[in-house]
Copies of this chain bind each other. A is one copy, B any other.
Amino acid sequence: MAANSRFSIAVHVLTMLAKNCDGRVKSDFIAESVNTNPVVIRRLLCSLQEANLVVSQVGASGGTCLARQPKKITLSEIYNAVSHGEIFSPHPKTPNQDCPVGKNIEAILCRLQKEIDKTVEQKLAQYTLQNVIEMVEREKV
């Protein structure tokens, strides 16, 4: 383990919700499709709820539904809801500040990090959940 698959599962979960948009979907049902434990799904749904992508209802005949139409949800929003975009990590320990390279490299890498994040975000923003649904349908053929 130890490699973040939350975005993959989140896209899967939201696609399930979109295809069952008429009612509230239960975490057990989603978990069966994702092939995992319902608690894993509920944990993820909490993050998606914080990001205002879904609405959950507790109690009997509760469940979750999308907060918006699939065409109004971008993959960028999904990504931000469940991951913090870091293509690479900074130095584990602060570099030697007495070395001219060590003193300045962190700030440069930090700027680069942000620039890449923005690039990824722009790419992911090109796709909506609706696009994913259409791809799933097309794939079926």
Contact = CB atoms under 8 A, between A and B. Distances in A.
Interface residues of A, number: 57
What's the dominant secondary structure at chain A's contact region? helix
Interface string A88-122: 11111111100111111101110010011001100
A17 to B, nearest CB: 10
Given A16-B101, A33-B101, A33-B102, A89 B4 contact: yes
B88 A83 contact: yes
B19 A101 contact: yes
Nearest to A34: B95
A89 to B, nearest CB: 4
A89 B5 CA distance: 4
